[in-house]
A and B are shown apart, each in its own frame.
Chain A
């Protein structure tokens, strides 16, 4: 049972335009969400996070939006750059620490930025 879903396996966006990556979750206990970026032959690296007390968090070109009622979050990248081409994983946890909780990852979306 996939509790965190990324329904688009791949996405292609023109350089300079906005990239929007989507993530849906089913577990209402999730209250902390993260995005990770992964290049080939490397481990995932943390990109940005958001807790359920917020609906938006921004860090430079990256913004994450959270819609708790819809159990949906999205990552916006503006403007998109060729170096953004990577696989993006959405992850969720049921608390803000790692007591007995863990990160549940989505299946990933491969973003390709077209020059």
Chain B
């Protein structure tokens, strides 16, 4: 089954404790992206990657890191989480071809930073 998986689905942590949210896709997609969803703000892009070893900032990259060492994986790293990073996070992937814009989303990771 074609899918995007994220782990963990729920996480409660404390300020300053480094964490990683994993994202994996089995569709051989070139493009992967991380979003956060906050009330009244919709989905905002954090980082995206066009292919292996190619990453770029989205709209709200501060406080986050990513890496793309393999095509299928795109982990989101919070080196020193803060309460304002409490949010619902989605990973997405897509083909990078012209006219093929559908992004496939993972189920989401709800993060609470105390």
**Partner-B contacts on A (CB < 8 A):** 2, 4, 6, 32, 34, 36, 41-46, 49, 51, 89, 91, 93, 96-100, 102-108
B81 contacts A by Cβ under 8 Å:
no
Could you list some 10 contacts between A and B, CB below 8 A?
A: A36-B105, A46-B102, A46-B103, A49-B102, A93-B101, A97-B98, A97-B99, A98-B31, A98-B101, A102-B48
A43 and B4 contact, CB distance less than 8 A: yes
At the interface, yes or no: B107 with Cβ under 8 Å from chain A? yes
Residues of B at under 8 Å CB distance from A?
4, 31, 33, 35, 40-45, 48, 50, 56, 58, 90, 92, 94, 96-108
Nearest chain B residue, comparing its CB with the CB of A45: B105
When C-beta atoms are compared, the residue in chain A nearest to B105 turns out to be: A43
CB-nearest residue of chain A to B41: A107
Q: Given known contacts A105-B43, A107-B40, A108-B42, what 17 new A-B pairs fall within 8 Å (CB)?
A: A34-B101, A36-B105, A42-B108, A43-B108, A44-B90, A46-B102, A51-B99, A89-B42, A91-B43, A93-B101, A96-B98, A98-B96, A99-B50, A102-B33, A102-B48, A103-B101, A103-B103
B35 neighbours in A (Cβ, 8 Å): 105
